[in-house]
Structure 1
């Protein structure tokens, strides 16, 4: 099958390499020094699930690729709207655009540009990043990728995607019956993990050791779950407890990508995380003071880093 990886960074580069190793036609879309390295030296993945290296066509212009069966949209959340405007050359009649971003809004943003019929929801559970241009480093996480049609249909294109992912080494493939529930499930955790490590500028181990910070970690998740349920999302009753137990077992030195971006003067996904919680909460009349506090503390930094 023919795949375009729009945003061949930590998530997209990992997926692209694994799919290429499984024999699929894969095209990478990237930019800057990373693109230069992909074109001259190929893509190398250093992974706890096994290293690999592939030479794949790479470009910054979707016109070079043409229509694909699948577009894996793996940009940062703040780049989604711009990327959506560039998708048209990649789209055939039944092309699936699978959105793998943090947050719960990307699918809607993409659908507004390319149409609901093209958009598939996706959730990525993987700790990976661009180690250096041309090199993706996968340091942990289950490398689990969850996906599904937004209306819950068990379509042929999702079945084929599931087969492709399942047959690729290093990918834990999950076809979700309700992808919206899966999006909010992860959203609850990442708002807490990202929010607390970024605002404290300390790793999860220090957050756990402070009773006040650990309580705020929990409260952030409770707020997100409350908003989700007010919107009709069927999240399980024990979700917050489940995530707290997961967070207790994390490497105490672990931070988050939001913390990394904050401390490396990079654009931040604050609007897609805590800004989104506040907007969704306002729409359903729910108070979310902990998420609003994170948003208020980090907003000046997000503004500064985006200049």
Structure 2
């Protein structure tokens, strides 16, 4: 199985390394110092599920790779449109482009470039970041990857991908029945967790201990669920309670990737998260004051680091 990892950061590099360890033909698309380090010293994954080092071909030009069976698309959401426009050299007649990104808009943007038939939805539950050039640290989360065809069919390509991920150490592979529900279900959690840890500059433990903040955390989830249902996406009745229980079990010092980017002067995925909730809510006539508040608080930071 020939796979291109488009965006070999915390999530993409982790997936690429695990698939390579299983024997698949993996190619990385990366850039900058991270690309240079991978080329010279290989890719190192330091993981709570077990460390590994792999020597993989890496490039910043998809033309160097050519058509593949699968593109695992893992760029930050603000790079989706530009990255999707560069996919053409990787996409053959049967290629599946599987998005493992934050937000619920990326697949539509990818489809605008490569066509809906090539796009597969995906959700990643993992806390993994570039620790230093060439080194990715997986520090938390179950490393669970959920994916599925948007029409719900069990195609040969999705079954083959499922087999490959299921056979890979350090990956919990889940083939979804309704991937759109999975996307919005995670969206509800990540908007609360990322938005609150970034806006307060505090870890989840402090948020849980602060009644006003914990109420706001819950209300963010409730608002996203309301928007989803208004869009005829039937999230489970227990979505809010399940996510609060999950958040209760997180390590007290756990933050989020949005908090990490904020505190390290990096570009923020605000427009794919809480600001996206606001846009979708306007489309369907739902009030989302908590998500509006998070968006307003983080907007100056996001705009200052927009490039």
Normalised by the length of structure 1, the TM-score is 0.99
Q: CA deviation at 1:249?
A: 1.1
Provide the residue aligned with 2:197 in structure 1: 197
CA contact (8 A) 1:74 1:99 kept: yes
Unaligned runs of at least 5 residues, structure 1: none
C-alpha distance in 2, partners of 1:44/1:231? 42
SS in 2 for 1:306: coil
C-alpha distance in 2, partners of 1:251/1:171? 21
C-alpha distance in 1, partners of 2:53/2:252? 31
C-alpha distance in 2, partners of 1:293/1:183? 23
Provide the residue aligned with 1:184 in structure 2: 184
Provide the residue aligned with 1:75 in structure 2: 75
Q: Deviations over 1:31-80 (max 9, x none)?
A: 00000001111001111111111100000000000000000001111111
Provide the residue aligned with 1:241 in structure 2: 241
Report 1:144-293 matches (<5 A). 144-293=144-293
C-alpha distance in 1, partners of 2:163/2:82? 30
CA contact (8 A) 2:127 2:257 kept: no
C-alpha distance in 1, partners of 2:153/2:109? 20
Q: CA deviation at 1:173?
A: 0.4
Q: CA deviation at 1:98?
A: 0.2
Q: Deviations over 1:147-166 (max 9, x none)?
A: 00111111110000000001
C-alpha distance in 1, partners of 2:249/2:167? 30
Q: CA deviation at 1:306?
A: 1.7
Stretches of 4+ aligned residues off by more than 4 angstroms = none
Provide the residue aligned with 1:135 in structure 2: 135
Q: Deviations over 1:117-160 (max 9, x none)?
A: 00000000011111110011111111100000111111110000
SS in 2 for 1:232: coil
CA contact (8 A) 1:97 1:120 kept: yes
Provide the residue aligned with 1:20 in structure 2: 20
SS in 2 for 1:128: strand
C-alpha distance in 2, partners of 1:197/1:126? 16
Unaligned runs of at least 5 residues, structure 2: none
SS in 2 for 1:298: helix
SS in 1 for 2:86: coil
Provide the residue aligned with 1:33 in structure 2: 33
Q: CA deviation at 1:260?
A: 1.0
C-alpha distance in 1, partners of 2:254/2:171? 22
C-alpha distance in 2, partners of 1:154/1:95? 16
C-alpha distance in 2, partners of 1:75/1:246? 26
CA contact (8 A) 1:227 1:280 kept: yes
C-alpha distance in 1, partners of 2:103/2:206? 25
C-alpha distance in 1, partners of 2:4/2:292? 37
Q: Deviations over 1:89-136 (max 9, x none)?
A: 000101000001011000001001110000000000011111110011
C-alpha distance in 2, partners of 1:151/1:272? 23
Q: CA deviation at 1:262?
A: 1.0
Q: CA deviation at 1:263?
A: 1.3
Provide the residue aligned with 1:86 in structure 2: 86
C-alpha distance in 2, partners of 1:112/1:281? 23
C-alpha distance in 1, partners of 2:281/2:204? 26
Cα RMSD (Å) of the superposition? 0.6
CA contact (8 A) 1:66 1:89 kept: yes
What is the aligned length? 307
C-alpha distance in 2, partners of 1:200/1:170? 32
Provide the residue aligned with 1:52 in structure 2: 52
